Chain A
């Protein structure tokens, strides 16, 4: 099992975190939701995986390319 960094593809503010470490996610499931460009844009699981860690908190600002979570791919 490989540990993978999940990066934000856009700059924005963390609006809502809907998952917690240990959660099993399918590819493209939302890990957290950013507010950006006046929209609610999810940061998604890159593959079927287990969520290891979330590195940001609600209201945090994140920039494009910033690592926001760590997952373990199955």
Chain B
């Protein structure tokens, strides 16, 4: 056979690179139930679909050349559910998948290919931080500035970027996750700027890595969208998120078949939402009654629980749902809620996903703590994102919607505003407003107070919003699903094939 020796050498080189880092490290991971980079890619990709880029690339450091298979990054292209995507998967067993020249070039190449061609990008990240000695000295960090793609740090949402925090993920690895549209974190993995080794020396701060960037920590930061128990589950969650996304901003999201019995749950909605305005409930149950069965996919579920943001399907069409949740803080929106909702609007607007608002809120949560957390600024970021978004927006008031929160929850700022017959709309809750309007307190004169509350509550009904055509419809809760389906049909944006203007496409990736 011609070229026999050369072919043998090629295969030997390939096999060596595919073997990744030290067998000891690989065995340790296996024992801990943690997959290695190639196992992860195999799980993500449709069988036999992965085409690797840079398998034979190595470190530029002469000392590292032989111990840097693929330079610690398994990169390439694959099919996921038949859809072509770009993949970067960190190989932590190779020099901690630390950031270095060749690794950076490989990662950048896949990113560029995705964003240039309109393909989703999926990054399975681990990263020890900057590589020693590559990053040392002025030219070390200086080289980072010259390396890689144009707009390396600019998130311009031409196609969806998905990331998973799959181990210790510091420095460049962490920044790659933050610069994504969706981040899932596996329990036990860490997302932080620096490891505890750095913080312990630099700040004399002895911390557990979990405290620096574990999954519980990130339920407080809101930087992570979902949590998984295992590597396998994290990859399933990535696939699920991708199922709601188009390949790029010039497409509409894929439709899904409508499951049998999809019209059944809405019949139960009257049992989900209590009639008494004093009683609270979990709005997620209302969403489940409205959406196609099993289609609701909440994001940042444990962060700012007063706001619910999630993808779902209604009549097979992908939608983004933004709801206030009376179960938490009575549905009073706070600064964290704004920080949760704003990037969700950005996501939906960037990828042509219509937004449905479900409002049941006494307003924004005011007070010293809110002001300290910069609530006025957060409200305006939220409002600006909402106004700039050109995807279809449908606002629905379930029970109450007061003050500025009425506008932020899409009231009058959407393509269509409707209210259940139970809607109450005003500048603030009448029970609070009476104190302001009449400068009185309940304790001072309970009887008079009751009369005044009745007075202030006048003209605040659903019908009072419908009369001046500020709500286009007043509906029975059981009509909600059909109403949303009909309004999605009306707001088809036929002139542009359902594609929005994407004025939020380069909104900052975090808050």
Whether A10 sits at the interface, judged by CB under 8 Å, is: yes
A9 contacts B280, C-beta separation under 8 Å: no
A38 touches B431 (CB 8 A): yes
Expressed in whole angstroms, the minimum distance between the Cβ of B112 and any Cβ of chain A is: 41
**Are B327 and A40 in contact (CB-based, < 8 A)?**
no
Q: Does A39 contact B (CB under 8 A)?
A: yes
B493 to chain A, nearest CB (A): 37
Residue-wise interface mask of A (33-45) relative to B, using a CB-CB cutoff of 8 A (1 in contact, 0 not): 0001111111010
For A36, list chain B residues within 8 Å (CB): 330
B282 to chain A, nearest CB (A): 7
**Binary CB contact string for chain A from 17 to 44 against chain B (1 if under 8 A, 0 otherwise):** 0000000000010000000111111101
Docked-complex contact A9 and B329, CB < 8 angstroms: yes
Of the candidates B279, B282, B369, B429, the one whose C-beta lies within 8 Å of that of A37 is: B429
What is the bound-complex CA distance between A3 and B326, given in angstroms?
A: 27
B507 at the interface (CB under 8 A from A): no
What residues on B are CB-neighbors of A28 within 8 Å?
A: 282, 305, 327
Q: A10-B329, A10-B330 given as contacts; is B280 within 8 A of A40 (CB)? A: yes
**CB nearest to A64 among chain B residues:** B369
Q: How far is the CA of A64 from the CA of B369 in the complex (A)?
A: 9
What A residues does B330 contact at CB under 8 A? 10, 36-37, 39, 41
Q: Which residues of A contact B483 (CB under 8 A)?
A: none
Q: Is B328 an interface residue (CB 8 A)?
A: yes
Evaluate contact between A39 and B280: CB separation under 8 angstroms: yes
**B332, CB-defined interface residue at 8 Å:** yes
Residues of B within 8 A of A41 (CB): 280, 326, 328-330
Specify which chain A residues have a CB less than 8 angstroms from the CB of B277 in the assembled complex. Answer: 38-39
Q: How far is the CA of A36 from the CA of B306 in the complex (A)?
A: 15
A28 CA / B369 CA spacing, docked (Å): 23
Q: How many A-B residue pairs have CB under 8 A?
A: 43
Q: Are A9 and B429 in contact (CB under 8 A)?
A: no
**Is B444 interfacial (CB-CB < 8 Å)?**
no
Q: Contact check, A38 vs B280: say whether CB atoms are below 8 A apart.
A: no
Q: Give CA–CA (A36, B330) in the complex, Å.
A: 8
- Tell me the bound Cα distance from A44 to B431 in angstroms: 25
B278 A38 Cβ-Cβ under 8 A:
yes
B332 touches A44 (CB 8 A): no
B332 touches A42 (CB 8 A): no
- B327 in contact with A44 (CB, 8 Å): yes
A36 to B367, CA, bound (A): 14
User: In the bound complex, do residue B327 and residue A39 qualify as a contact, i.e. CB atoms below 8 Å apart?
Assistant: no
Instruction: Check: B362 CB closer than 8 A to any chain A CB.
Output: yes
In the complex, what residue of chain A is closest to B332 when comparing beta carbons? A37
Question: B280 touching A37 by the CB < 8 A rule?
Answer: no
Complex: A41 Cα to B278 Cα, angstroms: 9
Cα A38 to Cα B399 in complex, Å, equals 14
Q: Once the chains are docked, how many angstroms separate the CA of A6 from the CA of B345?
A: 31
Residue of B nearest to A12 (CB): B330
For B367, the chain A residues whose CB sits under 8 A away are 64
Bound CA–CA A42/B328 (angstroms):
7
List, in ascending order, chain A residues with CB within 8 A of B280's CB. 39-42
What's the minimum C-beta distance from B443 to chain A, rounded to whole angstroms? 14
User: Interface digits, A41-52 against B, CB 8 Å rule (1 contact, 0 not)?
Assistant: 110100000000
A5 to nearest B CB, angstroms?
14
A69 to chain B, nearest CB (A): 16
Distance of A8 Cα from B368 Cα, bound (Å):
16
Which residues in window 273-327 of B have CB below 8 A to A?
Answer: 277-280, 282, 305, 326-327
Residues of B within 8 A of A64 (CB): 367, 369
B356-386 vs A: 1/0 string, CB under 8 Å?
0000001001010100000000000000000
Which chain B residue lies CB-closest to A65?
B369
Beta-carbon contact of A42 and B278 below 8 Å: no
- How far in angstroms is the closest Cβ of chain A from B357? 20
CA distance A45 to B367 in the complex (A): 25
Q: Is B327's CB under 8 angstroms from A42's CB?
A: yes
User: Which of chain A's residues have a CB closer than 8 A to the CB of B362?
Assistant: 37-39
Max chain A C-beta neighbours (<10 A), residue from B277, B328, B362, B431:
B328
Which residue in chain A gives the minimum CB-CB distance to B274?
A: A40
CA distance A37 to B367 in the complex (A): 13
User: Complex formed: what's the CA distance from A36 to B432 in Å?
Assistant: 11
Closest A residue to B400 by beta carbon equals A39
Q: Would you list which residues of chain B between 390 and 406 have a CB under 8 Å from chain A?
A: none
Question: Per a CB cutoff under 8 Å, which of B279, B365, B369 touches A40?
Answer: B279
| Top-7 shortest CB links A-B | A39-B330, A38-B431, A41-B330, A37-B330, A39-B278, A9-B329, A37-B362
Contacts A39-B330, A41-B280, A41-B328 known; 17 new A-B pairs at CB < 8 A: A9-B328, A9-B329, A10-B329, A10-B365, A28-B282, A28-B305, A36-B330, A37-B332, A39-B277, A39-B326, A40-B278, A40-B279, A40-B280, A41-B326, A41-B330, A42-B327, A64-B369
A-B contact pairs, 21 of them (CB 8 A): A9-B328, A9-B329, A10-B330, A28-B282, A28-B305, A37-B332, A37-B362, A37-B429, A37-B432, A38-B277, A38-B278, A38-B431, A39-B326, A39-B330, A40-B278, A40-B279, A41-B280, A41-B329, A41-B330, A44-B327, A64-B367
Chain B contacts to A: CB under 8 angstroms = 277-280, 282, 305, 326-330, 332, 362, 365, 367, 369, 429, 431-432
Q: Which residues of A contact B (CB under 8 A)?
A: 9-10, 28, 36-42, 44, 64-65
